[in-house]
Structure 1
Amino acid sequence: MTKLVLSEKQGLHEQFGEDAEIGGDHYRAWVGPPNYYDLIGVTQFNLLTLMGMRETNTLLDIGCGSLRGGRFAIMYLRPGKYFGIDPEDWAVQDGLQSHFGEEFANRKRPTFIKNSDFEFTRFERKFDFLMAHSIFTHAPTWQIKLCFEEAAKVMVPQSIFLATFFESLDGTDYTGNDWLYPDIVRYRKETISAIADEAGVECQHFDWPHPFNQKWIAVTQKGSRPDIAKLLGGWIYSYEATLERRATNTTWPTSATDKA
């Protein structure tokens, strides 16, 4: 794990990349369309909270980049609960500087690892939630399988791994072996499910709004199948959920992975 380092670039908090090309060296453009940076980030965070993420939970942000979605989670989660992995140090550093600055970043204590091989075990802990937004939209099948396999090593029965992909428009799958960016790749739903099954995890497809119609999946350990429709319906916020927490003496939010 690397020491928390922020970019030395000046004025990043006022540089929004309006004229930058997708995939360019601006911290917002690097991870996608700069003019959708806000919407895509908050989409991820809203979904995580619907799935049950509380401030005491742990989150692994896979391909965290410049913290498009991670900035919301870092602000929300308690110190030391956010973990990001990405191959590009500069993007993470620019994101930290732009969104937080040194004082707040050090207060929240996010942890980052530079890695392109999905080596999640390097964090030496398990995670309640995992997020891989727009990673499988550029990845060949062997990388998706590797990601699932490595994710399984850092999950517990309660863990939920949320990810997106582009669904095939013509009934075919991307068959190349290379990561494509900023180009995209597409897969059939059944192909994604089969890759997950081969990797030893279970995959549920579900509908959740996305500005570019990326499709969502929830990946869990086999046999640990959460009721996604119930969660998307706002169960965590409901009075019934409150009564259930009272009955089981879990009104104070806890993490299933703090001692895992």
Structure 2
Amino acid sequence: MIEIKHVSKQYGNQPVLQDICETLPSSGITSIIGPNGAGKSTLLSVISRLLNADSGEVKVDALDVSDANSEKLATVLSVLRQENHFTSRLTVWDLVSFGRYPYSKGRINDRDRQHIEQSLAFLELSALRNRYLDELSGGQRQRAFVAMVLCQDTQYVLLDEPLNNLDMKHSVAMMKQLRRAADQLEKSIVLVIHDINFASAYSDYILAMKDGKVVFRGTPEQVMVPQVIEQIFDLPVTVEQVNGQRIAMYYR
């Protein structure tokens, strides 16, 4: 599990994270929701050591993130940032193979190739394996980055806005694939997501943030209620049950 203990972060005099204390499960999908500027991506960056907290600590299966060996940490936790720069002359296979670097150090062996092929197949990218990244649609490229992270084969997978550049159809497909990864590969997937209805439909656990604090936590059934959603987003809302899922409907 991921333990977050009294984590705070600020830029200048502006607090971004305020004394966050949470325990994230070692399996399933945890979604972090909240308005822009709530601190969601900052929290994910601190968990993954892309940012250092000003105070507090984060432990992943008792491994202290702040001083853990980088190679060891990379075999336990992987992360996909919101912005990803790529070289256009990389093929999909090349990109996905980067996920094996903590193990291969650039020398791909048969076991690495097996993981690469499995990740390509899992994200339905096998037919695009030899395509260059600049030849892909935004959605295909996003799937390739997620395949790279899954190829790293860590217990904990952190994704910052994995639905970026995806239309509705491909967003649904991506969430289904992440759900499969959690269920079939037994991963713990933690994602920052803006669409609370996707969070409701596919998550096991939800953290709701506002003003640098976690203000609500629980299952979708506990969080997806009008009084909670209205407090988080300052927006009148009704929540309806549609095909067994709680769907938020906003009103002016």
Asked if Structure 1 and Structure 2 have the same fold, meaning a TM-score greater than 0.5 normalized by the shorter chain, the answer is no
Structure-1-length-normalised TM-score = 0.32
User: Which has the higher relative contact order, 1 or 2, with Cα contacts under 8 A spaced 6 or more apart?
Assistant: 2
Q: Identify the structure with the greater strand proportion.
A: 2
